[in-house]
Structure 1
């Protein structure tokens, strides 16, 4: 796996922090890493974007590349049209990722919002860029109510496009999870058909970079260069079956 696309089931669910954690775990494993942010929206010309945040958290050895920046916090296609700036095509995204992959062990391509957010006037999405590279896609999902539906829909959209969903990572695991969040841990793999590959604690992006890098492998499964395993996490957090419930 040299190129991994990181998508979400929506916005503000921890996608950048998860991308940073994957980068940090890969660096700790001795791999060279690049983070590609095709379209950064809602950030001013001199403000750090998501790719820069990944470098801050994961370490200065990480290469950051941003292809386009639009000032308004909107979908890339809408933001581009409103700003008068050119849109990005799937080919441009795929070509940039391939160039980075030529001299990095791992390239993380972080999308904008959900999987099917439009990047151009023809309706192309992050999935179209991933398909050009036959690259796997990691789904970042929230913990609480609604995540079973949105994660399952995202997984189905990936399969309908002949893409491989690598797994799902909970982008912000609450310090005190409610019942829905705890039940979702056990139900997500069965509902979506993809494995649970980690859970990043809420507030992790506010840690100092040193603490973030030290902790990141413990949030992610071995498939993402981490040490996290689903079994103990589920044992700790998933609710026990109801008394008297029939098996199956």
Structure 2
């Protein structure tokens, strides 16, 4: 029988702000020891750790460029050496570039795909090698894959790749008792999402779902918590569109 005094261990990439930060805090509140992964912003990552530990949770921060396989391996090494193993990987790190397809700078495309496609593949590969039985892997996609908003072409294309990798990894881990799913948020009120948008644009986006509001980071984090917890064990190989009902 597993020792219930030993917490499950989670690595959350992109956890220094926005949705990733909410996921790290929510998993910690659910009893996980959390590795707060970030590529930059060490001060912001330290703030997340302080928030978690002040509430009685376990957390450490670790830096890694998700597209660099050596740094990602070191991130996972930190999780196992500090907390004794690895049960949950949530890949929230990502890059966003908005432009029409006709006008997109290909250097921006390459940078976006390096983080969103190569980075996801590197994290997925390491997760496949390390997550213990009974564990879970959750990738972050976007509802724009289905909604096809103009100017999101490159971003949606990269997240379409994330969804394909997620569904294939779920099948490749047959027999391992590890679930693999993707969560695809709709418009969510993060600093990154709100940046550069006027009030009229924000109001228009908030009116799209039948629930008539933007999502919050907590809305997304609670779904991730479900998928990584005991209630989500029979959900596998799925993409959950978490967007308040936008069609």
TM-score by length of 2: 0.47
Question: Which structure: greater helix fraction?
Answer: 2
Question: Which structure: greater strand fraction?
Answer: 1
